[in-house]
Amino acid sequence: MNAKPSTTEPGPGLAAYPGDDADTDAAIEALEQQLSMLWRRARSNSYKVARRVHPDMEPAAYGLLVILQREGSMRLTDIAASVGVGKPSVSRQIAMLEQLGLVQKEADPLDGRAQSISLTAAGTRQLEAAQTARKQAFHQLMEDWEVEDLTRLGTLIAQLNNTYTKDNW
């Protein structure tokens, strides 16, 4: 049995892998371009959503608020682990959110040496208002899409996100 020869040459420092061909390369390149555009637009939208929560909030902090909304009170190390970011970076974001009155720290009931972080009442209200506005914007943006297409897109994005957890970089 002969293996299908590669129709493309790998770039410097890259080895060819089974199934590497021109059609796959073209599809991957198109995907990379579309994802790059999507990420730029998502960053821009994240900035707008973060500003809806609080005018001085950094976009990266929005995700931390959503985690606290979903999970309730958490330790800093658990928040950092859930987003896959280092503890110092998350600590800085949490300190900023605390200064803005969106989160609060309390002694952890299971370990008095640790602190538990949770949303304040104001943080909950402001986050929910921003989420409602974001949801309305998505409804308007996607109003011409079929529900089946939206569902399929969500499934494919979930599949892509799961692929990223394989740590093949």
> Span 159-169, mean pLDDT?
76
Predicted confidence at residue 71, as pLDDT, reads 94
> Span 11-36, mean pLDDT?
78
The domains of the chain, with CATH numbers, are 47-164 (1.10.10.10)
Instruction: Tell whether the model's pLDDT for residue 148 goes beyond 90.
Output: yes
Residue 47 vs residues 40, 52, 54, 134, 163: alpha-carbon distances, Å: 11, 9, 11, 12, 26
Instruction: Tell whether the model's pLDDT for residue 167 goes beyond 80.
Output: no
Predicted confidence at residue 14, as pLDDT, reads 54
pLDDT digit string, tens, across residues 49-100:
888 899 999 888 998 999 999 999 999 999 999 888 889 999 999 999 999 9
pLDDT grade for 11, boundaries at 50, 70 and 90? low
> Span 25-29, mean pLDDT?
92
Instruction: Tell whether the model's pLDDT for residue 163 goes beyond 90.
Output: no
Instruction: Tell whether the model's pLDDT for residue 10 goes beyond 90.
Output: no
Q: What is the mean pLDDT of the chain?
A: 85
Predicted confidence at residue 168, as pLDDT, reads 60
Sheet holding 111-119, edge to edge: 74-75, 111-119, 103-108
Predicted confidence at residue 169, as pLDDT, reads 57
Instruction: Tell whether the model's pLDDT for residue 146 goes beyond 90.
Output: yes
Q: By CB neighbour count within 10 A (0-12 exposed, 13-18 middle, 19+ buried), where does 18 fall?
A: exposed
Instruction: Tell whether the model's pLDDT for residue 15 goes beyond 90.
Output: no
Predicted confidence at residue 46, as pLDDT, reads 82
